[in-house]
Amino acid sequence: MKLEPLAVWFQPAAGALLPQLRPFLLAAGQAQAGASARLLRWAITAAEPARGLRIEAVLVVGELEGD
């Protein structure tokens, strides 16, 4: 088990943000760190018209040994 940072940009569609962000972040985290990656902490930390929303997150990667 280890912790890993994630910083990504996301261009949202119209409508509520959370239903778009959660699957996007999980997919981005797993693309970066593998299928065992899951989100521990995240927040939108910038918003720019051209690039969209920047999200900074912390991932937990791997499982506890013995579980």
Partner 1 sequence: MLLGLFVWLGFGLWLGGLPGLSQDGRPKLCFGSHAPNLLAMLTPPLPTLLVIPTGVGCAVGGYAGDGLPAARLLAAASGCLVTHPNVLNGAALYWSDRRIHYVEGWALDRFACGELALAPVAGRRVGLLLDGGIEPELRARQLQAAEACRATLGLAIGPVLVTDVPLGVGLSLGPSGSSWGTLERPDVLLRAGEKLVAAGVTAIAVVARFPDDAGSDALAAYRHGAGVDALAGAEAVISHLLVQHLGIPCAHAPALAPLPFDPLLDPRAAAEELGHTFLPCVLVGLSRAPDLVDPQDRRAALGAEDLGAVVAPAGALGGEAVLASVERGVPLIAVSGNPCVLKVDGAALGLPVLPASTYGEAAGLVLALREGLDPGAIVRPLGMLGAESSGLPSPDPRK
Residue 37 near partner 1 by CB under 8 A: no
How many residues of this chain bind partner 1 (CB under 8 A)? Answer: 26
- Could you tell me the smallest distance in angstroms from the CB atom of residue 3 to partner 1? 5
**Using the rule CB under 8 A, is 42 a contact of partner 1?**
yes
CA dihedral 47, 53, 56, 61 (to 10 degrees): 180
Question: Can you give the binding site for partner 1, defined by CB under 8 A?
Answer: 1-5, 7, 16-18, 21, 40-47, 53-56, 58, 60, 64-65
